[in-house]
């Protein structure tokens, strides 16, 4: 009986993390993203750690020009490369017979519309996080 109790307590302590540090603290981040003055209707923004960043890559969707993460999925102290993609729906998604093709995921029926300088070859200013900001608000006004 005592052995079962001990095993159970050890198991529960391992799940709870024994009260130890669960990793670096993270800051929530939110903001607005526009392209040539218009809110990005659908897209993604990602933050990839560069040198001296403790975090892991973080990405969040952009909907109607807004993005937001809470601190659980936010970013830790460090410097991050910022990449943004925006999508528009394709009108001509067809199967090999030329019929309209259903796409339950929506991925095949959209195309990325932003220039590479905002994503794969990002020229956006790096984001530096100190870890003491609380919620970070960062807006991006992208222009051709």
Residue 126 lies in a domain: yes
Residue 137 lies in a domain: no
Strands 136-137 and 29-35: parallel
Inter-CA distances, 76 with 68, 93, 122, Å: 15, 40, 21
Q: What is the DSSP letter of 109?
A: T
Dist CA 84 CA 56 (whole Å): 17
Q: Which of 82, 90, 89 is nearest to 117 (CA)?
A: 82
**Residue 59 domain boundaries:** 25-131
pLDDT in tens, 29-84: 999 999 999 999 999 999 999 876 667 889 999 999 999 998 888 888 889 999 99
Residue 142 lies in a domain: no
4 pLDDT above the threshold of 50: no
Provide the pLDDT for residue 132. Answer: 77
CATH of the domain at 84: 2.60.40
Q: How many domains does the chain have?
A: 1
Residue 8 lies in a domain: no
Residue 115 lies in a domain: yes
């Amino acid at each position: 009986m005592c052995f079962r109790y001990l095993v159970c307590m050890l198991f529960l302590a391992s799940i709870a993390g024994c009260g130890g540090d669960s990793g670096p603290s993270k800051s929530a981040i939110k903001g607005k993203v526009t392209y040539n003055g218009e809110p990005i209707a659908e897209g993604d923004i990602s933050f990839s750690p560069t040198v001296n960043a403790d975090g892991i890559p973080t990405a969040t969707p952009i909907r109607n020009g807004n993005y937001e993460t809470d601190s659980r999925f936010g970013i830790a102290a460090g410097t991050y490369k910022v990449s943004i993609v925006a999508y528009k729906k394709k009108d001509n998604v067809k199967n090999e017979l030329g019929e309209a093709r259903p796409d339950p995921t929506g991925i095949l029926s959209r195309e990325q519309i932003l220039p590479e300088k905002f994503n794969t070859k990002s020229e956006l200013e790096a984001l530096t996080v100190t870890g003491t900001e609380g919620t970070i608000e960062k807006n991006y006004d992208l222009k051709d």
